[in-house]
Chains A and B, each alone.
With several copies, the nearest count.
Chain A
């Protein structure tokens, strides 16, 4: 359901009858971004807008993103949706958008600039802190905890790591946190890392995976090691995590509302195109979900399979 929909083939002009919104995201291939894309596409169909959705291969590829933003500008869109990998890097381009009177909507994480009309984002740090809190609760406030993080330099990686670490440091004196390990969000690599962690720390009590790929990697690693009783806390959703939560392998996870982010983004963009006023920040929220609430409609609505 991706190459169809509103993107369409009307390649040429930025004008046309439908307003065109160019969205440059932090990623493309991962489920999280595909869910954002899905939300945006659905909303665009509803509102009668045309969108394109692009993102670099990895969240380290700042230059590629900047180039994508440049190319998006060249298409003279009516509005731009932008999730900055590095907000400073894009500053000149945002300035350019401003001079061209193209409104910019930031999403996922904030942009260090007052150019964006509004920002639809989640507080990743607070979300990670929430994950830490649940981990601590699950362990009764003591034990050894490891982190498998998807990236050590990207905003989301840093926030989800630091949010977790800081909460633990401040609130859980009984918990020892091992140095974070980074698996690039690759499931197989994260699984191998998890197994190494377990081998090196036979007394490990809990492991936190900072995004979908890391979390699934942790689940696989724990399963493959045959070790029982390790509490796993994850991030994002996706079928594998949902299944793991349902069958008890994973204690629970934090999810944002990617589909909602996509929708909010398009709504905000349309408003900006029409010149309507809107708040500077739209909090798209995050949720803790586990076995107990996974089937509740409000949670089910924000999970993607």
Chain B
């Protein structure tokens, strides 16, 4: 869309004037910290409500279960946070994850490669998917929505083709399960997958805030044209960002198949909306330029806490979605009010 020769127009379609970075300086910095902390507020309120409403909610087992159920969406959401900050979108998350899970099965079960190699292969395969997305978007200039929608369809088909439409079971590689459900911390019943998500979140945070990759991610989303005019290869960095998101897709594929003990070729559709929702609930703007890893994790947690809590409270299933929708609305609205006030 924006070739360097396209003129020098700065502001794109004029984003609505929301968010005002308040009086900055020290107090400002402090306040904005506080504000980010306040973003927890919705999460904490929801959490508290459930804890009061049901004695089964605030148990060690259930809290672990909530965290565990956040892992896959969380992993996908981390990668796509980068994509969304550049102003892009990735719809191939869900079915791409299924394809990576299948590839993991192909490597480990069908081809009998060592566990580590197979896992690495699946993750790199995810990177390849992301790379293809990146090339389509950055070089061929296909709008991200279309490019990744096409990839979503392709991955969905390929997962079935490669697996011959049947799940691949990891029965003979017990180590594979351990990736997700094992307990690395001795003596404590705490699933590895949650630790992995935590590590991935920290790495993502470092990448986004402390490296040039992160800087250019924000920069591209903020003003792609200007970034390009500043001599930065927007193409290259976009490809890197989508590839990175692809690596996260690969990891999500490994994590979900390790959790289930099998690679399910037909899953995945629908995960993309959930992952994007987590990112956006976490305050990242689809218009690009703004967002944070902390926000994304909070967003993912809000979704899984709500799902869990409503189930724990035995709310009839047809009402669960109604309530889920309303609570998301209220949570985001409250968050926006808070931001507007300050």
Q: In the complex, which of the residues B259, B265, B311 contacts A71, with contact meaning CB atoms closer than 8 Å?
A: B311
Contact across chains for B171 and A11 when beta carbons are under 8 A apart: no
Contact across chains for B189 and A226 when beta carbons are under 8 A apart: yes
- Of residues A12, A153, A181, which shows the largest number of chain B Cβ atoms within 10 Å of its Cβ? A153
Chain B proximity mask over A227-253: 1 for CB below 8 Å, otherwise 0: 000000000001110010000000000
Complex interface: chain A residues within 8 A of B166 (CB) = 2, 31, 34, 153, 158
Complex formed: what's the CA distance from A154 to B262 in Å?
13
Contact across chains for B260 and A3 when beta carbons are under 8 A apart: no
Contact across chains for A11 and B61 when beta carbons are under 8 A apart: no
Chain A proximity mask over B263-278: 1 for CB below 8 Å, otherwise 0: 0111101100000000
Chain B proximity mask over A158-199: 1 for CB below 8 Å, otherwise 0: 100000000000000000001111100011100111011101
Q: In the complex, which of the residues A58, A76, A225, A240 contacts B65, with contact meaning CB atoms closer than 8 Å?
A: A225
Complex interface: chain B residues within 8 A of A60 (CB) = 264, 266-267, 269
Chain A proximity mask over B146-173: 1 for CB below 8 Å, otherwise 0: 0000000000000011001111010100
Complex formed: what's the CA distance from A11 to B323 in Å?
16
Contact across chains for B260 and A89 when beta carbons are under 8 A apart: yes
Contact across chains for B72 and A68 when beta carbons are under 8 A apart: no
Judge whether A63 is part of the interface by a CB distance below 8 angstroms.
yes
Judge whether B313 is part of the interface by a CB distance below 8 angstroms.
yes
Complex interface: chain A residues within 8 A of B161 (CB) = 3
- The interface stretch among B16-24, B28-36, B49-57, B80-88 is B49-57
A54 nearest CB neighbor, chain B only: B317
Judge whether A101 is part of the interface by a CB distance below 8 angstroms.
no
Judge whether A39 is part of the interface by a CB distance below 8 angstroms.
no
Contact across chains for A196 and B308 when beta carbons are under 8 A apart: yes
Judge whether B186 is part of the interface by a CB distance below 8 angstroms.
no
Complex formed: what's the CA distance from A238 to B59 in Å?
34
Contact across chains for A197 and B311 when beta carbons are under 8 A apart: yes
Contact across chains for B69 and A202 when beta carbons are under 8 A apart: no
Would you list which residues of chain A between 8 and 59 have a CB under 8 Å from chain B? 11-14, 28-31, 34, 52-55, 57-58
Contact across chains for A153 and B311 when beta carbons are under 8 A apart: no
Contact across chains for B260 and A11 when beta carbons are under 8 A apart: no
Would you list which residues of chain B between 185 and 218 have a CB under 8 Å from chain A? 189, 191
Known contacts A62-B267, A71-B311; is-contact A199 B56 (Cβ 8 Å): yes
Smallest beta-carbon distance B302→chain A, Å: 15
Would you list which residues of chain B between 62 and 93 have a CB under 8 Å from chain A? 62, 65, 68-69, 72
Complex formed: what's the CA distance from A197 to B313 in Å?
9
A212 nearest CB neighbor, chain B only: B167
Q: In the complex, which of the residues B189, B260, B312 contacts A196, with contact meaning CB atoms closer than 8 Å?
A: B312
- Of residues A71, A154, A192, A202, which shows the largest number of chain B Cβ atoms within 10 Å of its Cβ? A71
Known contacts A29-B165, A34-B166, A76-B56; is-contact A67 B264 (Cβ 8 Å): no
Complex interface: chain B residues within 8 A of A201 (CB) = 56
Complex formed: what's the CA distance from A1 to B307 in Å?
24
Judge whether B256 is part of the interface by a CB distance below 8 angstroms.
yes
Chain A proximity mask over B167-185: 1 for CB below 8 Å, otherwise 0: 1010100000100010000
Complex formed: what's the CA distance from A227 to B161 in Å?
33
Complex formed: what's the CA distance from A153 to B262 in Å?
12
Contact across chains for B314 and A152 when beta carbons are under 8 A apart: no
Known contacts A75-B312, A200-B56; is-contact A66 B260 (Cβ 8 Å): yes
Smallest beta-carbon distance A302→chain B, Å: 17
Judge whether B15 is part of the interface by a CB distance below 8 angstroms.
no
- Of residues B62, B160, B177, which shows the largest number of chain A Cβ atoms within 10 Å of its Cβ? B62
Complex interface: chain A residues within 8 A of B269 (CB) = 57-58, 60
Smallest beta-carbon distance A1→chain B, Å: 6
Would you list which residues of chain B between 237 and 271 have a CB under 8 Å from chain A? 256, 259-262, 264-267, 269-270
Smallest beta-carbon distance B308→chain A, Å: 5
Contact across chains for A70 and B319 when beta carbons are under 8 A apart: no
Contact across chains for A153 and B160 when beta carbons are under 8 A apart: yes
Complex formed: what's the CA distance from A11 to B329 in Å?
24
Contact across chains for B167 and A86 when beta carbons are under 8 A apart: yes
Q: In the complex, which of the residues B260, B261, B307, B314 contacts A178, with contact meaning CB atoms closer than 8 Å?
A: B314
Contact across chains for B318 and A2 when beta carbons are under 8 A apart: yes
Contact across chains for B164 and A2 when beta carbons are under 8 A apart: yes
Complex interface: chain A residues within 8 A of B56 (CB) = 12-14, 74-76, 199-202
Known contacts A75-B56, A76-B56, A152-B266; is-contact A70 B160 (Cβ 8 Å): no
Complex formed: what's the CA distance from A225 to B181 in Å?
11
A/B interface sample: 30 pairs, CB < 8 A: A3-B318, A11-B54, A14-B56, A28-B165, A34-B166, A52-B314, A58-B269, A60-B264, A66-B260, A71-B311, A86-B264, A88-B169, A88-B260, A89-B260, A153-B160, A153-B167, A180-B317, A181-B311, A196-B62, A196-B307, A199-B65, A200-B311, A202-B56, A220-B260, A220-B261, A224-B65, A225-B61, A226-B189, A239-B167, A240-B261
16 other A-B residue contacts (CB within 8 Å) besides A153-B265, A200-B312: A7-B316, A11-B313, A34-B166, A54-B317, A57-B269, A70-B65, A88-B169, A153-B266, A195-B68, A196-B311, A199-B61, A199-B308, A220-B259, A224-B68, A239-B167, A240-B169
